[in-house]
Amino acid sequence: MALAKAINESLRRALEADPKVLVMGEDVGKLGGVFRVTDGLQKDFGDERVIDTPLAESGIVGTAIGLALRGYRPVVEIQFDGFVFPAYDQIVTQLAKMHARSLGKVKLPVVVRIPYGGGIGAVEHHSESPEALFAHVAGLKVVSPSNASDAYWMMQQAIQSDDPVIYFEPKRRYWDKGEVATDAIPGPLHRARVVREGTDLTLAAYGPMVKLCQEAADAAAEEGKSLEVLDLRSISPLDFDTVQASVERTRRLVVVHEAPVFLGSGAEIAARITERCFYHLEAPVLRVGGYHAPYPPARLEEEYLPGLDRVLDAVDRALAY
């Protein structure tokens, strides 16, 4: 099942299971979303459950907060990463803080779905990775699946969570297929996963970069290097225990994400792992990611995005210590 279809099936399951679950956003109804992630849901659940909204991102999130206060569990779609900023105020100043401000009396089980990241040749504001901006805000949980199975189960868990969850969907992986065991019992939403074991170095990534890191590990294996690959899955909270355990085995760590490196999630991982594993490390924690520049026009995005060579270059540098 394709990753996008897995999310669709997960939303369908949630809509069937709980009449309080709503799907809201621009074009999510008749069109099924610009990526067809919500395809067919309005047809089956009606426009009172799968709601086409006005073109107003702050309005989408702000009304979702009100609906959650009334007992609903809205899953809202922000059409593209760069369009979330009109809603950023509602997410940061309201959605994230209302539980604390009410001393726990109010719960806001709102899921904000954001297709994110580049690699699809889009115009500006359609390829960004703003996850660190959300992970920095207490009160929000931030996750990003890398494969169809996780996309399915993490959506189930995000909807069931009583906390607001920012659910970043790797849009360039929407069409990647994978097995989804819909009757399985998933692991915890925020636990990282070792997707490939290795002994020489750990590659840590999430969302669209997990597949790249697996490819890098394949390439490195041909050169006799054994790389471990972690799928972090969750950016807030971040499962440092799994990263630490891996680094204590491999003694080297490279973090890979599409977002700009400066003050990004890789910086946090590098700092914490250095603190936790200082005497285990054979090399500084290195980061591979975007530059401190606006996301470039499509003809340049291959230069901007981490690719196989940049990841392998960082691996070589770490191994050279």
Partner 1 sequence: MTVDSSATRKPRRSAAGKAGTTGSKAGSAGPQRTARATRAGAQESTEPQLVQLLTPGGERVENAENAAYEPYVAAITPEELRGLYRDMVLTRRFDAEATALQRQGELGLWASLLGQEAAQIGSGRATREDDYVFPTYREHGVAWCRGVDPTNLLGMFRGVNNGGWDPNGNNFHLYTIVIGSQALHATGYAMGIAKDGADAAVIAYFGDGASSQGDVAEAFTFSAVYNAPVVFFCQNNQWAISEPTEKQSRVPLYQRARGFGFPGVRVDGNDVLACLAVTRWALERARNGEGPTLVEAYTYRMGAHTTSDDPTRYRHDDERAAWEAKDPILRLRRYLEASNHADDGFFAELESESEALGKRVREVVRAMPDPDHLAIFENVYADGHALVDEERAQFAAYQASFADAEAEGV
Footprint of partner 1 on this chain (CB under 8 A)? 48, 53-54, 56, 58-59, 61-72, 86, 89-90, 93-94, 97-107, 138-139, 141, 161-163, 190, 236-240
- The total number of residues shown for the chain amounts to 321
Cβ closest to partner 1, residue 58 vs residue 226: 58
Cβ closest to partner 1, residue 35 vs residue 167: 167
Considering the complex, what minimum distance in angstroms separates the CB of residue 55 from partner 1?
9
Considering the complex, what minimum distance in angstroms separates the CB of residue 242 from partner 1?
11
Cβ closest to partner 1, residue 71 vs residue 224: 71
- Residue (of 35, 10, 11, 15) closest to 170 by Cα position: 35
Considering the complex, what minimum distance in angstroms separates the CB of residue 13 from partner 1?
20
Cβ closest to partner 1, residue 53 vs residue 214: 53
Residue 126 among the catalytic residues: yes
Cβ closest to partner 1, residue 104 vs residue 224: 104
Contact 96, 138 (CB under 8 A): yes
Catalytic residue chosen out of the listed positions 99, 126, 136, 257: 126
Considering the complex, what minimum distance in angstroms separates the CB of residue 137 from partner 1?
11
Cβ closest to partner 1, residue 17 vs residue 106: 106
Considering the complex, what minimum distance in angstroms separates the CB of residue 29 from partner 1?
13
d(CA 53, CA 17): 23
Cβ closest to partner 1, residue 37 vs residue 140: 140
Considering the complex, what minimum distance in angstroms separates the CB of residue 22 from partner 1?
8
For the chain, give the secondary structure using H, E and C: CEHHHHHHHHHHHHHHHCCCEEEEECCCCCCCCCCCCCCCHHHHHCCCCEEECCCCHHHHHHHHHHHHHCCCEEEEECCCHHHCHHHHHHHHHHHCCHHHHCCCCCCCCCEEEEEECCCCCCCCCCCCCCHHHHHCCCCCEEECCCCHHHHHHHHHHHHHCCCCEEEEEEHHHCCCECCCCCCCCCCCCCCCEEEECCCCEEEEECCCHHHHHHHHHHHHHHCCCCEEEEECCEEECCCHHHHHHHHHHHCCEEEEEEEECCCCHHHHHHHHHHHHHCCCCCCCCEEEEECCCCCCCHHHHHHHCCCHHHHHHHHHHHHCC
Considering the complex, what minimum distance in angstroms separates the CB of residue 193 from partner 1?
16
- Residue 296: cis peptide before it, omega within 30 degrees of 0: no
Contact 212, 307 (CB under 8 A): yes
Q: Give the catalytic positions in this structure.
A: 126
